[in-house]
Amino acid sequence: MRIAVIIIFLTILGSLGSALFYLMRDKGASNRTVNALTVRIGLSVVLFLCLLAANYFGLISATGFKP
């Protein structure tokens, strides 16, 4: 579970970085920045729902991940 959260979080950061790159490169001429930010929002929602489900099923506790 810990590795999945880390991978999703790094993917979110990568999407945010690509949005910044497209914003600087395209200067608003294309929709690539909007698409990258949309992917970031979607991944953030998925991560939040996965954490809620993991808490519900007992995979994580309030103090962190179970060993």
By the 8 A CB rule, do 49 and 39 touch?
no
Q: What is the pLDDT of residues 18-42, one digit of tens each?
A: 999 988 998 777 888 899 999 999 9
Rounded Cα distance between 60 and 14, Å, is 25
Q: What is the pLDDT of residues 39-57, one digit of tens each?
A: 999 999 999 999 999 888 8
* Contacts of residue 1, Cβ cutoff 8 Å, sequence gap at least 6: 54, 59, 60, 65
Q: What is the pTM of this model?
A: 0.79
Rounded Cα distance between 27 and 60, Å, is 42
